Amino acid sequence: MSRLALLCCNLFVALASGCAMARHAARDSLEAELAALEHGGRLGVAVLDTGDGSLRGRRLDERFALCSTFKLILAAMVLDRAASGGPPLGATVAAGPDDLQQHAPVVRAAVDAAAARGAACAELTRAELAEAVQTTSDNAAANLLLREVGGPDAVTAYCRALGDTATRLDRYEPAMNDVRPGDARDTTTPRAMARLVARLLDDALPPAERETLRRWMIATETGAARVRRGLPAGWLAGDKTGTGGGDGVTVKCNDLVWIEPPGRAPLVVVVYYDTDVVADWPSAADEEVLAAVGRVVGRMR
C-alpha cells in the first residue's frame, strides 16, 4: 500500500471513529439531561430524527401505559381503512345516551342536540368521530370507533401489520387507563411508539390521509402545556396526549409529538411519564416535566 493510500485509510478510520464518539457523546448527553428531569417515577422518552433514522432517549424499551395516545393510532386506522376500500369516512355511526363517557365533548353535544330534536340517537360520521378522537380525545368517540373497527385486538393487529411488535390495546375506555406495575395490557414502549408514529406520518397512509392526520394533530389543543410549550418559537408541531390516574392508579402524563423544525427533517418525540404519585390528574409540575423535554429537544443538534 502506498503512503498516500495508507494516509487516506488512517484518515478515514479516524473520521469514522470521531463520528462514532460524537454520536455516543450526544446520546449520553441527552440521556443525562432527561434523567435530570425525572423527579420520581419513570420518564420514558424517544426522539426519532426522520432524516437519518437515528433514535435516542431514555427508558426506550420499558413498558408504559398508553392512556389516550392510542387514539392517534385509531384515527389513522379509520383513515387507512377508508382509503383501502373499507367503510367510507362519510358513513354514519349511531350514538345514544348509553354511549357517553365522562369525557365526551363532541359526542355529548351531538347526543344532546339529537335529544332536543326528539331523536333517540345522534348520527356522526366516521370522519367526525376520528377527528374528535384525535383533537379532543373524546372517549365516547373512541369506544364507538373501536367497536366499528373490531375492538382493541384489531388495533393491536394494525400495529403488528406496521411492524410494531410492542404496542398492544386490550380494553375500552376508561378501563384501559388502569395500568399497574407488572400489567402489560394497554401498554407500549417509547421506541416502538416513536417508530410507529413516524410510519403513520410517512408511508403507512396514502398522501391525502397522511395530511389529514397531520392537520388533526396540529389542530389538537390538549397538549398545549406539554412538549409543545417547550419547543422554540417557529417550530411547527402537532401532538396526541394521554392522561391517566385516580382510584389507586399512579398519574400518567404522556405526549406523542410530530415536530417540523425549520431547515431540517421532522422529528418524532414520544414522552411517557408515570409519576409514581396516586392522584386524579397530572399537576402543573407534571406537565412542566414534558415542557422541559421540549426544551431539551429544542437544543439538540
Q: Which residues pair with 241 in a beta bridge?
A: 255
- Helix (H, G, I), strand (E, B), or coil: what is residue 98? helix
DSSP 68: G
Task: Assess contact for 249 and 277: CB atoms under 8 A.
Answer: no
Whether the Cβ atoms of residue 205 and residue 76 lie closer than 8 Å to each other: yes
Measured CA to CA, the distance from residue 39 to residue 49 in angstroms comes to: 27
Instruction: Catalytic residue, from 68, 84, 137, 283: name it.
Output: 68
Instruction: Give strand pairing partners of 197.
Output: none
Cross-strand partners of 95: 122
Mark whether 283 is an active-site residue.
no
Grid cell at residue 5: 493510500
Strands in the chain per DSSP E = 42-49, 55-58, 64-65, 92-95, 122-125, 187-188, 236-246, 249-260, 267-278
Which amino acids are annotated catalytic? 68
